[in-house]
Structure 1
């Protein structure tokens, strides 16, 4: 771990050691098999306008010895930690949630659990269909596989680079975590609930084979106000294909708009 970042007291969050406690916080949830700490590399482009916070669930990274949660347990734990992390107070920093793929689904369920939190400003979801469609049959089928068969089927989701697929030792190291995350996704059970009053932004890669407009349209049912939908260049991992600038621009635009409204 870089010396410039640290784990908070709850173990849930990793962010800059010298982070300003009062600036807006963007809590980041990673895709299946991903490490949310990788999003901290975007911090330089955000400057001091917002603080990126990696959300680290039990069973991963520095929490590897803890039992892995279900998706609902992950969302509940993250929501509770966010609420007591300063943002639950009257003058706490504004809260934004950003997730990609499986992380988007967790971020959505976290937002549901934070619907009474005044500091919650916006939910950003990337690379995911509407929650009512989850889990897809493809995800369930993939979650039932093991080893090399799983790795080959994962190609559809662009989950592992070709050089990793060709390296047996790397596969042995990485696959258990990815498989566990897909089984978490396969175990998700959507439950209808009142729509979110907070704003929602959808981000989708134009070349994402897993997404289309129909799969995104059902997000309308989850929001009081129709979500803003942004198609960006790239595939499922558009921020890898074309860089994160398109996502960062959307994050900064939301933060700046909210800050302007608060000043007025």
Structure 2
């Protein structure tokens, strides 16, 4: 068992094991209902990074390089069956860099990566950094974005409590510097929200530059956090896409 992965379902003979990576400031609880909506032979594990939920007393990790290095060690014990990485927003960047960090044998276990609501990593940023802004300016900027649940933004006391986590999670993406590498051979499936204010369809299609197989882009009604606002539809569609994909001869 790893503190970094919450095990929502582990079966004796899984068809695959889903590793799920939440958006900025999100925790593993985002995925707690996924098992009831996915085929019974799919394991579900959610990343539980420090600074949130049951690990709220631990300092959050603000470096993507550091987080990926830790995850690389923690995930090794689970990569004994066909696996899929699923990441939403900044979680997609974590999943992608974790995939790139794996050695050849481990990569062979990862049959697909699902990238949801994240611009391709080589594209220039469309917003300036916010992680080091004074509190009131940070709050004002966050209100113009679609990256933090609205109920949290409206609670000033809670926002002050969560500010260290918010700063760390945004710093993780804002200090990230993409380094070119050979294309990944893993199958990439992309989800995009038609009402996303920051992530365009073209910015999702740019992910093709980083994968040798043709990517699949699935449009989804909803804003940036459609993984929350359209939770059941998202998970059910994910399962319907993954089930035939995992039995494809190309991925055997």
The structure-2 alpha-carbon separation of the partners of 1:248 and 1:183, relative to structure 1 and needing over 3 Å to count, comes to same
2:7 to 12, 15, 31: 15
Structure 1 stretches lacking a partner, 5+ long? 1-7
Residues 178-193 of structure 1 correspond to what in structure 2 (within 5 A)?
178-193=166-181
The answer to whether 1:34 aligns with 2:26 is yes
Residues 9-88 of structure 1 correspond to what in structure 2 (within 5 A)?
10-16=2-8, 19-23=10-14, 24-63=16-55, 64-65=57-58, 68-85=61-78, 87=79
| Conserved 8 A contact 1:13-1:55 | yes
1:223 to 211, 216, 225: 211
Q: Could you tell me how far 1:105 is from its partner in structure 2?
A: 0.4
Q: Give the distance between the partners of 2:52 and 2:64, measured in 1 at CA.
A: 14
Give the TM-score normalised by the residue count of structure 1. Answer: 0.84
The answer to whether 1:146 aligns with 2:134 is yes
Q: Could you tell me how far 1:231 is from its partner in structure 2?
A: 0.9
The alignment of Structure 1 onto Structure 2 pairs a total of residues equal to 247
**51-60 vs 206-215, which moves further:** 51-60
CA RMSD of aligned residues (A): 2.3
Render the CA deviation track for 1:25-53: whole Å, top value 9, x for unaligned. Answer: 11011111111332122221014131110
Q: Could you tell me how far 1:174 is from its partner in structure 2?
A: 2.1
Structure 2 stretches lacking a partner, 5+ long? none
Instruction: Specify which structure has the bigger relative contact order, considering alpha-carbon pairs within 8 angstroms and separated by 6 or more residues.
Output: 2
1:5 match: none
2:159 match: 171
| Conserved 8 A contact 2:38-2:235 | no
2:89 match: 101
2:98 to 107, 110, 113: 110
